[in-house]
Structure 1
Amino acid sequence: MSAVVLEKPPAPAPPAPPPVRRKGSGVLLGVVRRSVAVVALLAVWELAPRLGLVDRTFLPPFSEVAAAWWTLATNGQLATHVQASLVRSLSGFGLAVATAVPLGLLIGWYRRLADLLNPLLELFRNTAALALLPVFVLLLGIGETSKISIVFYACTWPVLLNTISAVRDVDPTLLRLARSLDLPPHRLFQKVILPASVPAVFTGIRLAGAVSILVLVAAEMVGAKAGLGFLVNSAQYNFAVPQMYAGIVTISAIGLLFNQVLVALERRATSWKGTS
């Protein structure tokens, strides 16, 4: 009777090394694609005044604006104005987020509270923040309090309304499933409502981040002695056009950086979506 010989299965092949070069080239290609439009804009900005397509008195070439920006940066003026604006903007923005997120969660969760406050919410959310700037100045003066308060007011509504909408728009299937497990209300709120609301809440926070810069710049043009809005306004009155555009470019760069920071925070807060 012949013996049966069992052959060993072939050893698995070692995993292939990760395509480092392809990944690096893909990242580089993505950066290049995202930069094409910006580079094209800067090229048009540089060439249009030099070719006489626009009056360089009112729109100087980008190289002159960059030189003015570098002068402001080296003599310390730009740092002073940026610091003043960031302190005001981040203070009002932080207070708005700390106030509007809990309030929005409560209003979205308790229907009776929402019915009670809804007329006031509709009234104030349709009142432009800059329209109330004279009121803030009259009540709080032209100091830091009025500027932080106007930023706080303007940032509150995007965060508050998006938070309320996020709580109300939670998937009903998730709520029914959670209630079928006999979860108490506080656990239902903690385990279902909060995680499902995070993306929409961060949408409101990102909108508020953009609003905090725009409203502050307008507020700093009235009764301020420092800040990017003051820099732009002062350069306009003194007909220092390159310095004016340097301030505008700085405002745009800060807004872009602020948005990228909020996007990174949102990805960390919603990392569970990628692993679910």
Structure 2
Amino acid sequence: MARPSLSLSASPLEDNHLHPSAVTTLAPVSPPVRPGTGRRLWGVARRVVNASAAIVVLAAVWEILPRAQVVDPTFLPPLGDVLTAWYDLLRSGELADHAQASLARSLAGFGAAIVVAIPLGLLIGWYRPVAELLNPVLELFRNTAALALLPVFVLVLGLGETSKVSIILYACAWPILLNTIAGVKSVDPLLIKSARSMGLGPYRLFQKVILPAAVPTIFTGIRLAGAYSILVLIAAEMVGAKAGLGYLINYAQYNFRVPDMYAGIITISVLGLLFNLLLVRLERRFSTWRTT
């Protein structure tokens, strides 16, 4: 007896054509989700808060201790009184005049130190005969504090602007000079040999290898010199000056205007901080070849 044959229906996937009912609608692939703007702003705000937390605590302590009579408010007024005095000096234009005079002297001496010290440091660090000639003189003067020579500058150059700019130049030149020499001498000898083996002449070798490798160390000296330009300036302005933040602090002390004295000190600190931030930005600009 013949077995009945089973008739199987064709599967919709047996041939190359899909059955209409078997077609699945595919959703478009969405791009990867990036962190939102709010999240980035929160990260920036958190970094700002962390960086300013110590300053906020210091300001709170300065405000609370004099008002609680823990310290004598006659000699350490509350921060609110100091800020009020600072605002009065700013509104009257007195603070702007003193700050302008100080910045002009500081930038003049600092700029002259850069112009003199960096080329001299490159020569001493790169050419051995120049180093052998000048090292005894450098060792003699590098250990002499700038403020110890302030009376000499005043006697020789007088009480005018020349003596103040010159003492700032002297104080700023040493960190720039010594760090420039150290930066040139600390270049990897293998880099120098490799550059020479590739046919670089002395000028191209100095331009492409020595100078870029020494830039971070040179900027370390420049940042130190920026701090010295502010510190030495204040001492110089306390001797025979008629304008400047150092003169303002000294005058306020003699006349027992204690809030004005602290207002001048705060102004100097803020100017020094802004000056250092500017130098850090410049260092990053000239050191873009470095890896992070």
Match of 2:259 in 1: 242
Residue 208 of structure 2: aligned partner? 191
2:41 partner amino acid: G
Give the aligned partner of residue 7 of structure 1.
Answer: none
- Per-residue deviation, residues 110-165 of structure 1 (Å, max 9, x unmatched): 01111111111111111000111111111110000000000001000000000000
Deviation at 1:21, TM superposition (A): 2.4
- Aligned counterpart in structure 2 of residue 77 of structure 1, from 67, 78, 94: 94
Match for residue 8 of structure 1?
Answer: none
Identity score, percent = 66
Which residue in the other structure is 1:40 paired with?
57
Structure 1 segments unaligned to the other structure (5+ residues): 5-10
Q: Counterpart in 2 of 1:162?
A: 179
Counterpart amino acid of 1:199? Answer: P
Verify: 1:257 aligned to 2:271, yes or no.
no
Q: Shift of residue 15 of structure 1?
A: 4.4
Alpha-carbon separation, structure 2, partners of 1:274 and 1:167: 20
User: Deviations along 1:58-114, whole A, 9 cap, x unmatched?
Assistant: 000000000000000000000000000000000000000011111101110001111
- Out of 123, 143, 167, the position equivalent to 1:106 is 123
Instruction: Say if 1:245 and 1:129 are closer, same or farther in 2 by CA, change over 3 A.
Output: same
TM-score, normalised relative to structure 2: 0.89
Could you tell me which of 126, 130, 137 is aligned with 1:120? Answer: 137
Partner of 2:83: 66
Letter in 2 for 1:36: A
- Residue 131 of structure 1 corresponds to 148
Which structure 2 segments of 5+ residues have no match? 1-14, 17-27
How high is the TM-score relative to the length of structure 1?
Answer: 0.94
Please point out which of 242, 246, 258 is paired with 1:229. 246
Larger radius of gyration between Structure 1 and Structure 2: 2
**Deviation (angstroms), 1:177:** 1.2
SS in 1 for 2:290: helix
Per the alignment, residue 72 of structure 2 pairs with: 55
Cα distance in 2 between the residues matched to 1:83 and 1:174: 45
Question: In structure 2, what is the Cα distance between the partners aligned to 1:257 and 1:12?
Answer: 49
Deviation of residue 173 (structure 1)?
1.8
> Which residue matches 2:233?
216
The answer for the alignment partner of 1:271 in structure 2 is 288
Paired residue secondary structure (1:224):
coil
- Structure 1 position 12, deviation (Å): 7.7
SS of match in other structure, 1:272: coil
TM-aligned CA deviation for residue 24 of structure 1: 1.5
